[in-house]
Amino acid sequence: MRFKSFCTAAAAALFIAVAGSSAARADVALPAPNCGTVAGTNCLVFSDFTVYSLALLNLQAGNKNFTPQSPYYVSTSGTDLHNYLVVGTGVSGVAVNNQDLFPSTPGVVDNAYSTPNVAGGGTTNFLMNASTANAQGSAIPNNSINTWDINVSSLLSYLNGGQMGFFFNLNQTNTTTYLNNPEDALGYLAVTLSDSTGVHAPMTFYLNGNNCNGVLGAPNSPNCDPTQGYAQNPANNNGENVILPSPTDQWAYIHGQICASPAGAVVNFGACAQGDKVDQTIDQNLGATPAAFALYSAALQQWLLSGDYDKLSVDMRMAAEDNGYEQLIIAALDVPEPITVMVFGAGLLGLAGLRRRKLKAA
């Protein structure tokens, strides 16, 4: 019985390794995560998510300008947008019908939520609720108006062997906000896997500023640093409501610009110092056309493939919005994850050792 269980575990490890690192479909290929802010690193960790700056990846690939020909340019405008699952989008409530991607299985996905338009001035927050929702998937178990939902089977069909990734647009203006720079914003993401049968407890994966304990410029410090978390404080937020789930939750601080060295290390968040002729200011406030950030969670990917869950829900929130048309999409990724191969290799070694012990006993 123990041998059979070990075989099952090893087979599961193989499935995760193959499905997680050998994508049958990939809209975008990202480098293996090596998170931190020193030269040679390419991402930051915000709680359960790895966050890539696509413009910084472009610089690290040897390209000074970020154009549609760049290797990490992801277009999210016009017809290109309709190739993806769209969680939120739209000036003045422009919706995207995600159901068009599943013509033979109606009701398996919510349409995109409408993100705000405040181009006329001022700031606002964004929250998923009845006022921002569009058509809801009628075939989704326990569907909620307060989250964007999709059946896991349909999501896996869309990904077609690729890993699940999110892409986010930043589209701020130069209107003054309560943040350090008018191009900055605040974001929060919670992705929940749930089982309508109740056998498996829900699992939620977060992108927030709660665990920003890294050190800027320190080797082996992959987490966001404390300046990347922003505490909720209505008094400092121009009277805006506290809209995160818990009063102790923190926003992830989204920078419109970062300063990078020629080697691609993060010198500081925000523009380079005036007169700095060595480093380069990287624009992450790229507007409504290209995605600015790629978001990936290896843990979410593995549990998505577990077979334990039948619904995925996304809770996206934003604050300090001074323009609008921010977008969040889901696309198929190819992200090398050596850890999954290592896990499988360890499983094989353990299995071989167990077999040797059984033969010796015989």
Domain ranges of the chain: 2-361
pLDDT of residue 172: 87
Residues 310-334 pLDDT 10s: 999 999 999 888 877 889 999 999 9
Question: pTM of the predicted model, to two decimals?
Answer: 0.86
Structure tokens at 304: 């998505």
351 vs 264, higher pLDDT: 264
Phi, psi (degrees; rounded to nearest 5) at 186: -125, 140
pLDDT bin (cut points 50, 70, 90) of residue 175 is low
Q: Percent of the chain beyond pLDDT 70?
A: 81
pLDDT of residue 254: 95
125 Cα distance to chain centroid: 19
pLDDT of residue 341: 41
CA-to-CA separations, 143 to 126, 136, 148, 157, in angstroms, rounded: 20, 8, 9, 19
Sign of CA dihedral 226, 61, 87, 45: negative
The yes-or-no verdict on residue 343 having pLDDT over 70 is no
Please give the Cα distance from 224 to 61 (Å, whole number). Answer: 22
pLDDT bin (cut points 50, 70, 90) of residue 287 is confident
pLDDT bin (cut points 50, 70, 90) of residue 238 is low
Q: Give the residue among 195, 228, 277 at the shortest CA–CA distance from 37.
A: 228
- For tokens 């506290």, name the residue: 242
The C-alpha angle with vertex 29 and arms to 26 and 30, in degrees rounded to 5, equals 140
Residues 104-114 pLDDT 10s: 999 999 999 99
- 44-58, 171-185, 247-261, 330-344: which range is least confident on average? 330-344
Please give the Cα distance from 347 to 180 (Å, whole number). Answer: 49
Structure tokens at 138: 């009628």
Mean pLDDT in residue range 39-60:
96
- 17-21, 148-152, 183-187, 222-226: which range is least confident on average? 17-21
- 15-29, 61-75, 133-147: which range is least confident on average? 15-29
- 12-26, 138-152, 165-179, 182-196: which range is least confident on average? 12-26
Residues 15-28 pLDDT 10s: 444 444 443 588 89
Structure tokens at 295: 């978001």
pLDDT of residue 119: 63
As a three-state string, the secondary structure of the chain is: CHHHHHHHHHHHHHHHHHHHHCCCCCCEECCCCCECCCCCCCEEEECCEEEEEHHHHHHHCCCCCCCCCCCCCCECCHHHHCCCEEEEECHHHCCCCHHHHCCCCCCCECCCEECCECCCCCCEEEECCCCCCCCCCCCCCCCCCCCEEEEHHHHHHHHCCCEEEEEECCCCCCCCCCCCCCCCEEEEEEEEEECCCCCCCCEEEEECCCCCCCCCCCCCCCECCHHHEEECCCCCCCCCCCCCCCCCCEEEEECCEEEECCCCCEEEECCCCCCCCCCEEEECCCCCCECCEEEECHHHHHHHCCCCCCEEEEEEEEEEECCECCCEEEEEEECCCHHHHHHHHHHHHHHHHHHHHHHHHC
Mean pLDDT in residue range 185-192:
96
Maximum pairwise Cα distance, the chain: 80
